[in-house]
Amino acid sequence: RLRAILIGDSHADAVTTGLAAAVPSTTDGIMDWSYVSCPTLLGVKNLSPKYRPDEKCGDFLSWMVKKLTDVPKDIPLVIVNRTTTYAVGHNELWEQDTNVPAVYFSQPYTSATPAFLAEFARHLTDTACQLAQDHPVYLVRPIPEMGINVPKAMSRAMLRGQHKEISISLADYHQRHAFVWAAQDAARDQCGVKILDPLPYLCWDGRCHGAKNGRPLCYDDDHLSEYGNKLLAPMFAEVFQSPGKSASGHVHNQIGNAE
């Protein structure tokens, strides 16, 4: 029995089993509608077709909107994306696109200007509110990005008999993601979408951590591992505690799964 649909990019795909672990009944489940490098922003266009000539993000989002008309309106949508990166570039040390947008809407920008960020934020808020017209919508705050490959760095340190602590400060996290938080807050205030915050589960002592109890929380520098995503199960539990939590009927056929 369908209880929720997870929508987003590879960050959504990386938390699929964390959301599934929060489903109250073993007879119920979720669906994963994710598309790599495709943010959930209606009207978005990708700037890098030379790297991905088969990029079909716009087609995927159109498919999503159309298929949602077949989904009972009490089924919640959980939206997870590496949103900030599309607007201001990566934070990995080896990337060279700092402050360079990866997407555009009305026109391409060569840098993340205030005008572009305002347009980006508007599309984020408007998309969430459009989806919220027919379904409960939950926006997940950005997952902390470590900037280096966590398991690789930890294992190399272990080979040298060392322990490597990998983390970022909460201050750095908030500085990078502030405009996304503001756009999500605007959607909450304008149309009642719910916000899910992973920070209480991934951050402590003023820092967001790449490992817990000696186990990596990420499988690279920013995607949660199977261990890491299970820490978010208590956060995702809120999705199934809403007044409209009972799904209407059974889903006999999977109605879509993109990766």
The amino acid at residue 89 is: G
Supply the pLDDT for residue 49: 59
pLDDT digits (tens, 9 = 90+) for 17-59: 999 999 999 999 999 999 999 999 999 998 765 556 677 899 9
pLDDT for 52? 63
**Tens digits of residue pLDDT in 76-105:** 999 999 999 999 987 766 566 677 899 999
Q: What is the pTM of this model?
A: 0.89
For residue 7, what are the contacts with CB-CB under 8 A and spacing of at least 6? 33, 34, 40, 64, 77, 78, 79, 80
- Please report the DSSP string for 112-126 in residue order: --HHHHHHHHHHHHH
- Cα gap 66→89, rounded to integer Å: 30
Q: Give the separation between CA 1 and CA 10, rounded to whole angstroms.
A: 24
Q: Tell me how far apart the alpha carbons of residues 16 and 14 are, in angstroms, rounded to a whole number.
A: 6
Nearest 5°: phi and psi at 10?
-65, -25
16: tokens are 């699929």
Sheet holding 137-140, edge to edge: 29-34, 2-8, 77-80, 137-140, 194-196
pLDDT band at 256 (very low <50, low <70, confident <90, very high): very low
